Structures are given as C-alpha cells and as structure tokens.
Amino acid sequence: MWTLEKARALHDAPFNNLLFLAQTVHRQNFDPNKVQLSRLLSIKTCGCPEDCGYCSQSAHHQTGLKASKLMEVKQVITEATKARDAGATRYCMGAAWRNPKPRDMEAVVAMVEGVKALGMETCMTLGMLDLEQAARLKQAGLDYYNHNIDTSERYYGEVISTRSFADRLDTLENVRQSGIKVCCGGIVGMGEEPVDRIDMLVTLANLPEPPDSVPINMLIPIAGTPLADASPIEPIEFVRMIALARIMMPKSYVRLSAGRTAMTDEMQALCFFAGANSIFVGDTLLTAGNPGQDKDTLLLRRLGIERMELES
C-alpha cells in the first residue's frame, strides 16, 4: 500500500533523481521508445446533468455548445476505421451522460462490437455504470472503461456536487468485477494543492488493482465553466506528476491526455522521459483541441519514438 507520506517524499525529491527513477521503472516494464496511440470520439455531446466545474458539456454551464443526439452506429464505425488507418490502435468513445439509459445500451453495444471487429482495442466513457451494464459491455467485447476520479477525495467537492467521490469508486469496482480493464486518472490545474494531486495518485495506486491506463489531464480552461480562470499548473510540476504516476503504477499505461496544445515539444519530451507512453491523436478531444496527427507524427519522429503495435 502506498501512503501519502511516501508518495509525497518521492514527488518532492530533486527533479533529476525523480526522473531517473521514473525512467528506470519505465524501462523495466515498457519499451522507452514506443508510445500507444488512441483516438477519442464524442458519440453524444453536451447536455450532461452533472456539474463538473471543468466540463464544457455540462448543462449547468453556458459554453455555447448544443446538445446532440447519440451518434449513429454506422458513423461511429466509419470514424473508427479512419482512426485505425491513421495509426490508432485504441478507439475511445465518450458520451455526455450521468449514466447510460436502458434505451441507449443496444446502440452502445453495437458500437463496441463494430470497433472490435476492426481489430482495435475498445474503450468507452459513459458516466456511472452498474454491474449489469458493465457485464453487458464486457460481453460485447469492451476492453477498457474510462471513469476518472478527477482529483483527491478532499478537493473533489470543490469541483463536482452532483455525484460523490464514492460514486466514482463504485463504478470503478463494477468495471473491475466485470473483467473490463480500468482506465482512470484525473485532472491537474483546477486550483487544487500539490498534496491533492499526490493523494489522487495514492487512491489510484491503492485500488484492488491499479488502473491499466492512467490518463493525466492538464486542465483546458473553457469559457463559461467555473474553472475558466484557473491558473495553469507549472510545467515542471506537471512532469513530476507523470513521473510519480509511472513509479507508483509501474505496469500501467500513463497517458499524456488533455492539455497538450498548451505544452511545448520540450515539455512533452520530458513527459515521455518521465514515463508517459500513451497519447490521444487527432484534432479534437471530445470538444477541446488537440495538436493533430501531423504535429504528433513530427514530434515522435524527432524523438525517435515509434507507434506501439497491438499485442497479438
């Protein structure tokens, strides 16, 4: 079990020592020059009843975005095919829901089955799941389910009031019990203290099984949300988070997620050195911007990093 004190001591170590340890752990578990590429598609945008303070898709916030209906299955498969042909090996589908309704499950299952048939790993983020819904998605072939805890339990109530931290953990347990791999991380730069970021990783590392994927997001401040004026996290502090996640969860994929448009190439290179080995590719992440395929291809080429292939 990880303690907050032990994790904090690592986080606060001299930067070079922290990065050296993180890179050592990374090399013991992964090829340091390969990165897993994922693609994210919003299959149902906006209108979410949750009040997450960072989210452009909440019905509580005036962000100028309009709610859409659930995307047609055929269109999702077409987009997934494009992503596969562009080099993505995992396809992630997100819906702005508190939880899936029974009437939505048939289409969602068809999407999972269709993307799986393309030879890609499948991932979904649909809000809270009960055990029956998780089991149905597992039967359809879902590989990963994303459900972030966002921040520490202490700070959680400052960001979200419509569901509890315990609700998040319940969904993660339902996903784990069903046999689907857990994708779970959080967001930094929401006004939290450094200890909250560290405690978030302690929670993740101390789950019955650490998440298979750990996305670390840097807040993208969006006009119309309560966190529109949040001060950005300093780059060195962000890299420390990546390194700490790698050390605490050595066999997990650590995904450099939202916020990369605000990162320099040098900052991203440091994140890769610190143990990040997964990114989202494409021009958008749900509704926010992303660097785009060409820019990512050029950066990875400059760093000598190759695309990770699916395990046979």
What residues act catalytically? 48, 52, 55, 92, 123, 183, 255
2-8 long-range Cβ contacts below 8 angstroms, 24+ apart: 2/201, 2/202, 2/205, 2/206, 2/248, 3/202, 4/195, 4/198, 4/199, 4/202, 7/198, 7/199, 7/201, 7/202, 7/205, 7/244, 7/248, 8/195, 8/198
182 vs 172: CA distance, rounded Å = 7
Rg (CA), the chain: 18
Query: Distance between CA atoms of 156 and 200, rounded to whole angstroms?
Result: 10
Q: Report the run of H or E that residue 199 belongs to, with start and end.
A: helix 194-205
**Are the C-beta atoms of residues 234 and 192 closer than 8 Å to each other?**
no
Output the CA angle 155-156-161, nearest 5 degrees: 130
Q: How many CB atoms are closer than 10 A to CB 289?
A: 14
CA dist 97 and 84 (Å) reads 26
Dihedral, CA of residue 189, residue 258, residue 65 and residue 232, to nearest 10: 20
Which residues sit opposite 307 in a β-bridge?
A: 35
Give the residue among 178, 179, 172, 251 at the shortest CA–CA distance from 213: 251
